[in-house]
Amino acid sequence: MLELWVNLVPLILVSAALPLQTILTLRLVRTSLAAAFAWVAGMITVRLIQGLVFGVVVKASEEHSGTDAPRYILGVLLLVLSLLLFVKALRTMLGAEDEDAPPPGWLTKAGAMSPKAAFGAGAGFMTISVKFLVFTLGAISAITEADLDARLSALMYVLFVVLAAIAPLTILALAASSSKRSAAMLDGFSTWLQRKTRVITILLGLIFGIWFLIKALKQLAVL
């Protein structure tokens, strides 16, 4: 179990810390709390569905290829994630546009989104984001490798999904509070995040890129 969490915690941290989902949640809570809840619910729903679908695929691969299959799958996924993070950091350093950013005008339209549209937007965002998909597949492979029973495996994956969405969920909790302090905290965090997004993205890419590269090479028995 300890080794499982050693693999899961970095995936949770980098998934939770990527700024875009947090920025969009902050944008939505300013106009419609219901839409913001629907946006986050859409993202979480897709991740749960991905866990069910890809969990079956990875488990079938394990049964077909032998007990070493999840280790190699996890190693390849961590290697891909490492490369994605390095590329993301490099692109940000060079001032390139964020490839995961929503289409132009999306933020403006977000203010008028209905909860139904926001749910679809959250589900779509999580579906097309390659980085978040790799995080999800990495978590599934790590849980499969741990060789837990079905119920515990499902619980571990649900915990991963919830903890990976801790930033948007915290924003929703603060927004649901009517206290002035909560509103001030949200305003302050929003301002800080928009100012530091570039730095956060670069640091995440470099630090976790190196971490996942080392983990991948160990999983693949290179180190």
The tokens for 43 are 């993202």
pLDDT for res 99: 60
pLDDT at site 55: 79
Helices (H), 94-179: 106-110, 115-128, 130-145, 150-164, 166-176
Q: In which residue are the tokens 């571990």 written?
A: 156
Provide DSSP, 144-167.
HHTT--HHHHHHHHHHHHHHHTHH
The pLDDT, as a whole number, for residue 107 is 61
The pTM (predicted TM-score) of the whole model is 0.82
Q: How far is it, in rounded angstroms, from Cα 120 to Cα 152?
A: 30
pLDDT tens-digit series, residues 124-179: 989 988 888 888 888 888 888 888 888 999 999 999 999 999 999 999 998 888 67
- How far apart, in Å, are the Cα atoms of 92 and each of 5, 87, 193, 196? 30, 8, 15, 12
Per-residue model confidence (pLDDT) at position 103: 55
What 8-state DSSP symbol labels residue 27? H
Tell me what pLDDT residue 65 has: 58
Do 34 and 115 form a contact (C-beta atoms < 8 A)?
Answer: yes
| Cα–Cα distance, 137 to 55 (Å, whole number) | 8
CB 72 within 8 A of CB 220: yes
Q: Tokens 């492979």 — which residue?
A: 141
| pLDDT score for 150 | 85
Low pLDDT (below 70) residues in the chain = 57-70, 97-111, 178
Residue ranges per structural domain of the chain: 2-219
SS3 8: helix
Q: What per-residue confidence (pLDDT) applies to 156?
A: 94
Task: Give the pLDDT score at 46.
Answer: 95
